[in-house]
Amino acid sequence: MRLKTSIGLALALSITMGGMTHANDNARPGATAASDDPYLWLEDIHSERAMNWVKAQNAHTQKQFADNPEFARTRDRVLEVLDSDARIPYVERRGDYLYNFWQDKAHPRGLWRRTTLSEYRKPEPQWEVLLDVDALNKTEDKRWVFKGSDCLKPDYNHCLVYLSPDGGDAIEVREFDIPSKSFAKDGFRIPVAKTEVGWIDENHLYVGTDFGPGSMTSSSYPRLAKMWTRGTPLSAATTVYEAKTSDLSVGATHDRTPGFERDFVNVAHDFFHSDTYQLKDGKLIHLDVPTDASVDAHREWMLVQLRSAWTVGGSTYPSGALIATKFDDFMAGKRQFTTLFAPDEHTALSGYSWTQHHIILNLMDDVKSRLDVLTPQPDGHWARANMPGAPTFSTMTVLDTDPDHSDEYWLSVTGFLTPSSLERGVLGEGAAQTLKQSPAFFDASKFEVSQHFVTSKDGTKVPYFEIAPKNLKLDGSNRTLLYGYGGFEVSLQPYYSGSVGRAWLERGGVYVVANIRGGGEYGPRWHQAAMQANRLRAYEDFAAVAQDLVKRGVTSPVHLGAEGGSNGGLLMGNMLTLYPQLFGAIACEVPLLDMKRYIHLSAGASWIAEYGNPDDPKQWDFIRHFSPYQNVKADVKYPDVLFFTTTSDDRVGPVQARKMAAKMEGMGYQNVWFFENTEGGHGAGADNKQAAFMHALAYDFLWDRLQ
């Protein structure tokens, strides 16, 4: 059972969790730099004045870029990809069934359903529908967005279903009864809030939610972990742990692995530091590992993944290493570990997955995938074997395993030009078999992938992937889209995107993915090299890639666009303000931009470990250099820019994009565009139609402006 907090990557676009922003988060007493901000009124998210401004901006942007046949064609072709019945229905094993959530044209809000393995092997499997979210919305006159489920093993008949009212992180939790395919009468139910919840047994839950004033941290996540008993009011839940208001969050979990049942409490102090306790006989026993390490208890084993070097038991283990010991031995005071993985200059650990008798390591060699299988031996060492490699410039990811019962694994294989496939295998029973194959949404034979390295300002070599037409003319005339993220140890590995293929590559564009520092492509060191006072390194890396594309003749500034969202939106804001001469257009999506006030907006306080605390004058002295809202100036030749956000984003929030657009327009800039979707949360789309609109708007804006 992985014990790190579930919100460890909560800023990344692809990661979601339950959440709610308190009304006073946007006007906290003592917030700095507010009085001299003429656009502070846009922070009142749902005010009539602010929403009227949003509506006017939306109409202006839509008229310019969306009210034309070309946009409609782009949107419809992207929507065909998202709604395609030929997509892979990815599954999660729960006992004898494979569970899937599916959205398409007929079911825009989706179907929660399941089938058997034998049925899934068929080209057209029959599905048992458990919950039709569109039908639920019709019945309840709501706009629920399905956010996942948690079912109680081993029979998986009792489930907790998570529903967001608008696609944001805030969720309502309802108990669902699988045999009757209905919400359980008088079952567990938690009102909309940022909630951490999990089963203990059929009649008890661990829950962290908004219990009232003082129950949430300053980051707007649960401060209290409680145990709730069936048949009692939520208010009667008993406190297991009370964190500090300054902590990020707290959560309690129960491991139901037969023979190894254990309870844990994890207290996240920030995104990268936490303390973990075993809850045993009513007492909390601290797991004495570094606070920046991730801890995993599985059966008799305890694994520790290190972010910094650790000297223990007479040995020193490096940052980025994965080490193992027996759980009971560790709790008894022994400190002898076995190194399962140690990084080198080119290789990092992307993740790992337990099966019943093995561990599958997901490794990156210069951002390219490799899988190793480790098996504990009676003499204490771990045998190592390689799994077959992926195609060149592809990514292999273990999506699911069944560690309580078997050595089954489900494997995704994807690449920039290789449509994704889903494979199933059992370790020790031969090679995995491909069960599902995604269709090709564009003709990949016209393109080729290459990897390049560029030297950044401080001498660091930075990799990037280029997907381009074959026999590309290096005359500087190619419309090129450069994508990046660079934060929170998130890695950008090769992936297949029918949307990118149809909306950009088929038009003749070049697509580039930059693996800049701040990400996790080379482990913790790559991330830590661009944190806080070193944040500018990430932006120097991205600028170096842009300059290399021009130097190599791939493109020129007037034809070079950039795109990024969330933390990548902050990256875009800094490309706009620090390197405007390098780009012709920028798409800045669900972004952070006002780094002076970000900790007072939505869940911003949770990211202090990544960026620093702007309320501390010493830290503001370095933060101010990468705060786009403060650094935008009048009379500068900025590239055309599109800011895209959502009203329901309760993680970053819409106000930073609003204020940046308003400020630039107030300075007289005519090449600033803004669009705000009402639903979708931080992911920017509550259904495929909304997502297709967002993608089409960004691609058409960039293509139009990069003449």
H-helix or E-strand spanning residue 361: strand 359-365
Cα separations in angstroms, 40 against 111, 548, 597: 41, 39, 10
d(CA 483, CA 515): 9
Q: Which residues contact 45 (CB under 8 A, 6 or more apart)?
A: 26, 647, 653, 654, 655
d(CA 217, CA 247): 6
The total of other beta-carbon atoms located within 10 Å of residue 344's CB is 11
Bridge partners, 414 (sequence order)? 395
Query: Is 682 noted as a catalytic residue in this protein?
Result: yes
Catalytic residue among 107, 527, 682, 695: 682
Bridge partners, 317 (sequence order)? 310
CB 458 within 8 A of CB 144: no
d(CA 140, CA 187): 18
Cα separations in angstroms, 610 against 304, 395, 530, 535: 22, 27, 9, 9
Q: What is the 3-state secondary structure (H, E, C) of 254-287?
A: EECCCCCCEEEEEEECCCCCEEEEEEECCEEEEC
Query: Is 600 noted as a catalytic residue in this protein?
Result: no
Bridge partners, 462 (sequence order)? 454
Q: Which residues contact 656 (CB under 8 A, 6 or more apart)?
A: 591, 592, 593, 594, 598, 601, 629, 645
Catalytic residue among 566, 606, 627, 648: 566
d(CA 67, CA 51): 21
Cis-peptide, bond into residue 580, ω within 30° of zero:
no
Tokens for 141?
């006159």
* Residue 422, φ and ψ in degrees, nearest 5: -120, 120
Q: Give the residue numbers annotated as catalytic, written as ranges.
A: 566, 682
